[in-house]
């Protein structure tokens, strides 16, 4: 049951991140991309710290370093994605970012000698194909923005890998608070150096960034960190890749985007990828029980 709790938490994370596409598009009407990142991480970190302030008293130096490392990777990945978007199309940016679903099992194998699970590997590739159907507009050109976005995908893949490594034996809440506050601190320094400290405080402007801070950051990253304590890195990457599916669903519901055949095929591929990885886990656990 613990495994299913982890999977459910990661699925909720993907749903929240999917809705975040709409909130981000609304927030960027009032704020620069760097202001949006700084605000969402600051709001997320402060809310989580206020709610669980008693737990922060027992933070160790080791956990502080782990959280700061994760927060740095997180901010750099978001920044690469943001800058990359300025030089490429949104569809290519979304697709290349999603390549992390394939990079995760490769990193786990190369750096940590984790055996490549065939079903999960196939599921990761199938999830990527599904995301391609949903978001990618075919283009033969590769530009600087695509390269930066690919670096962003590598960054997010390492974030998933190191979250799984660092959360073992640690408090997920403490780890999440530190990484969010670290990302917020970096974000504040960046907007300061860019001269973007003048932030509008209109209600219409604050609503989307507060949503991003409360849901897409506080709740989502807490659920991701806790969920990865119970689920393999590759399985986590596959579940989190459904962010693209949920983003499309929210775009259809809220922004009246038209459902196409490509979207339908992509959604089916992503769902099959999840079922494939889940089927393998069930078979593995059944064989293990029979052997014991």
Domain residue ranges of the chain, discontinuous segments joined by + = 2-291
Name the residue with higher pLDDT: 205 or 263: 205
Instruction: Transcribe 61-80 into DSSP letters.
Output: HHHHHHHHHHHHHHHHHHHH
Q: Distance of CA 86 to CAs 32, 116, 149, Å?
A: 12, 35, 10
Task: List C-alpha distances in Å: 283 to 185, 276, 277.
Answer: 45, 11, 10
% of the chain at pLDDT higher than 90: 40
Output the pLDDT for position 259: 73
Better-scored residue on pLDDT, 147 or 136: 147
Q: With 60 as the cut, is the pLDDT of residue 46 above it?
A: yes
Which residue, among 282, 274, 191, has the nearest Cα to 239 in the 3D structure?
274
d(CA 245, CA 248): 5
pLDDT tens-place string over residues 14-41: 999 888 877 887 888 899 999 999 999 9
Confidence band, pLDDT 50/70/90 cuts, at residue 278:
low
CA dihedral of 52, 57, 61, 67, whole degrees rounded to 10: 10
Cβ(160)–Cβ(179) under 8 Å?
no
Residue pair 127/101 in contact by the 8 Å Cβ criterion: yes
Query: Is the predicted pLDDT of residue 283 greater than 80, yes or no?
Result: no
How many Å apart are CA 132 and CA 126, to the nearest integer?
A: 10
Nearest alpha-carbon partner for 93 in 154, 124, 135: 135
**What per-residue confidence (pLDDT) applies to 171?**
92
CA 125 – CA 129 distance, rounded (Å) = 6
Q: pLDDT digit string (tens) for 182-227?
A: 999 999 999 999 999 999 888 889 999 999 999 999 999 999 999 9
**pTM for the model:** 0.82
């Amino acid at each position: 049951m613990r495994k299913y709790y982890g999977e459910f938490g990661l699925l909720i994370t993907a749903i929240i991140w999917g809705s975040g596409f709409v909130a981000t598009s609304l927030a960027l009407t009032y704020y620069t991309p760097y202001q949006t990142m700084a605000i969402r991480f600051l709001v997320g970190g402060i809310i989580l710290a206020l709610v669980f302030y008693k737990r922060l008293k027992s933070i160790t130096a080791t956990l502080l370093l782990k959280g700061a490392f994760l927060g740095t990777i997180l901010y750099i990945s978001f920044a690469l994605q943001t800058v990359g978007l300025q030089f490429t199309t949104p569809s290519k940016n979304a697709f290349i970012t999603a390549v992390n679903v394939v990079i995760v099992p490769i990193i786990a194998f190369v750096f940590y000698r984790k055996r490549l699970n065939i079903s999960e590997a196939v599921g990761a590739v199938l999830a990527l194909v599904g995301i391609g159907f949903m978001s990618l507009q075919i283009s033969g050109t590769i530009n600087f923005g695509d390269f930066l976005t690919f670096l962003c995908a590598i960054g997010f893949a390492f974030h998933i890998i190191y979250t799984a490594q660092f959360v073992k034996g640690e408090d997920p809440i403490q780890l999440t608070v530190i990484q969010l506050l670290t990302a917020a601190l970096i974000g504040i320094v960046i907007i300061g150096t860019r001269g973007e400290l003048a932030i509008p405080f209109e209600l219409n402007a604050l609503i989307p960034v507060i949503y991003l801070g409360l849901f897409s950051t506080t709740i989502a990253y807490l659920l991701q960190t806790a969920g990865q304590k119970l689920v393999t890195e590759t399985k986590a990457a596959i579940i989190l890749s459904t962010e693209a599916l949920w983003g499309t669903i929210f775009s259809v519901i809220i922004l009246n985007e038209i459902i196409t055949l490509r979207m339908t095929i992509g959604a089916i591929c992503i769902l099959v990828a999840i079922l494939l990885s889940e089927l393998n886990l069930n078979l593995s656990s059944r064989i293990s029980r029979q052997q014991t």
